[in-house]
Structure 1
Amino acid sequence: MGEPATPIRRRLELTVAEARLRFQQLVRVTGVTGQVTIVVDGGRPIAAIVPPGDVLGAGPAPPAQPLPQPPAQPLPQPPAQPPALPRAAPVAVPVAGEKAAAGWLRRIEQVREDVRRQHAGRIRELSQALDEAWRLLDDMRPPGTDRAVDTLRAAHSDLRRVR
């Protein structure tokens, strides 16, 4: 029989700007599909978004290579009592990595909150400018005097603040 088929790992190359715009999508897709995304700047790879298993060492095994067969030799007889082997210490997850990840998460949340605040300010400014523009239009062309402006009033009624 043949070897079992392994899924083809997709590799995607994106510019920094594209990766920035699609970051959340890329992270979620990577966790599900195992897709590797290479972030390039000027055609030069600068970063990668990879599945966590690849980074932590539990990633997919490399393709199996056939081992050369050694010449047949008689098997040695095992000793009556196997020698005591030293026990390996349990492998610990690096604490520094967890602290770094927590730091990055705090920073990301801080940036996200800053961006929300900036967007709220911009929306407030744009809403005030739109209100001012409608006040000027209402002063220059009162309702019922200009059919085109009345059409705009009707079309934008959901956007206008009622005062």
Structure 2
Amino acid sequence: MAEETGIFQLLKAIAGKAALFPAALDAARRSINLIVGAQLSADAADLASVRKIAALLGPAAFAEAVDGLPSAKVKALVARIDPLGPAPAAAPERIRHLLALAEGKAQPATAKAKPPSKGKTPASVRPGEAAPADGKSEAAPRRRRITGRAALRASDER
């Protein structure tokens, strides 16, 4: 055939004279879904490119292409473009979430701000003990708990 860029030129030429190819309508639809599916499955697919593809195809054609993707590919794509968002368990819910992201009806989740700490007591202060007034705590040597055979030997020695 032709070079890589020439292939898309051929597709454009065929699309310009679609009346010459009435028997190939179903094959063209499958080809479009394969092309879109391959691009969406690629590691380079991000939210911006997904939205551009959805805008180019229109909602119905994009939904048809996404519906033809395997469930694992849809799951991976949703996880890649919305890593902090909800992870729907069912495939139809994932597809709806992907379509909402692509159409701009939903935005990817952002990291939640960490709430400020409420002045926790140092870890070396045990319950019932007071923390040092100066705020600096000197870690008391921890007593090692003896279990198993070592406990038996220690009890025999006492």
The normalised TM-score by structure 1 is 0.22
Greater helix fraction, Structure 1 or Structure 2:
2
Greater strand fraction, Structure 1 or Structure 2: 1
TM-score normalised over the length of structure 2? 0.22
Q: Which has the larger radius of gyration?
A: 1
